[in-house]
Chains A and B, each alone.
Chain A
């Protein structure tokens, strides 16, 4: 945690980095699924690209996770704290991804039996994980986007009237 950064700011930064890392992992799973649809040469490149993305996501998420774990162990923050807008957005994104994962599975199940019978199980696992994690990340960034109303306003008029 940076010296001038509050616990709340660190928490928001940690959640943002987690969402970025998850997006990279989603792309990694997309590459993993695509490997079954392309030739061997391109599949090799995708394999390396997948590894690169996985390493990048670890470097993005892990440092913040370790710091967060240390703060929890030291009792400086508790689960669910500090509360805030970004934490709520994170939770909403998790719920959205969880719900849509089941929708994806329901649609994919008949497709896998009828039209995609030649593809291995690993393809579908990669595809579902890609979609699920991708939905989480995109939902998070969409809900967390800066609104034109979200501007620093020293002193303003009454809100909500």
Chain B
């Protein structure tokens, strides 16, 4: 599990009221990919990260951040 990269995908999904499946379909990946990103099991590529950020209409830094440690 990657502990260096944090993400707030669940927060934004809640704000936008979309499920993992719906988000996956919107950016062209599978639900499992979204799920494993959220729990830190999979570090997304730059492309996927940017697609997620674009979907929520926020900068990618608002969703992904590095662990300060």
Binding site for B on A (CB under 8 A): 6-9, 12, 82-86, 88, 147, 149-161
Contacts and interface: CB of A to CB of B under 8 A. Distances in A.
Interface in B1-40: 5-11, 13-14, 17, 19-21, 24-25, 28-33, 35-40
Contact of B30 (A8, A147, A151, A153): A8
B32 A152 contact: no
Given A153-B20, A155-B10, A159-B9, A6 B28 contact: yes
B48 interface: yes
B41 interface: yes
Interface of B (DSSP majority class)? helix
A149 B20 CA distance: 13
Contacts, number: 84
Nearest to A10: B30
Given A149-B39, A160-B40, 4 more contacts: A6-B28, A85-B30, A152-B31, A155-B13
B42 interface: yes
Nearest to B67: A160
Nearest to B40: A160
11 contacts: A83-B44, A85-B30, A86-B30, A147-B39, A154-B19, A155-B13, A156-B13, A157-B10, A157-B11, A159-B9, A159-B39
A84 B30 contact: yes
Nearest to B43: A88
